Homo-oligomer: A and B are copies of this chain.
């Protein structure tokens, strides 16, 4: 946490606003991506400085980190939006969020199974090359052609 020491926002409007580059560094992403999220309506439009630079606050950083974390976990931006909407209502049923996460887990597990099968096939294909020298008597291409 190399950021934000005090900054209790009482009175002073913007102690030190974050530039888009600061925000990008703090959330381990890039300015273009942040602008993209803004265009997509995932990040609220920030105020601008006199020179038209975006001026972000901690609220933006928190939300952006949430988005990035969800993306890292493989959620689509649409799912992230759902999660953000759900989380904005304190009284909403927690189960709905859980359902989303669980459904995603199933998708991930399916993908792992698929890739595991695929890896086995690739190992077999590699094995079929042993001891051959040229394409003419290599079995890889045939292994790649079904039947």
Are B104 and A122 in touch, CB under 8 angstroms? yes
Residue of B with least CB distance to A108 = B119
Segment at the B interface, from A16-24, A38-46, A138-146: A138-146
Given contacts A73-B121, A73-B122, A95-B129, contact A145 B90 (CB under 8 A): no
Instruction: Give the total of A residues in contact with B, Cβ under 8 Å.
Output: 53
Are A135 and B69 in touch, CB under 8 angstroms? no
A residues sitting closer than 8 Å to B (CB atoms) are 1, 62, 65-66, 68-70, 72-74, 83, 86-87, 89-95, 97-98, 101-102, 104-105, 108-109, 111-112, 115-116, 118-119, 121-123, 125-126, 129, 132-138, 140-141, 144-147
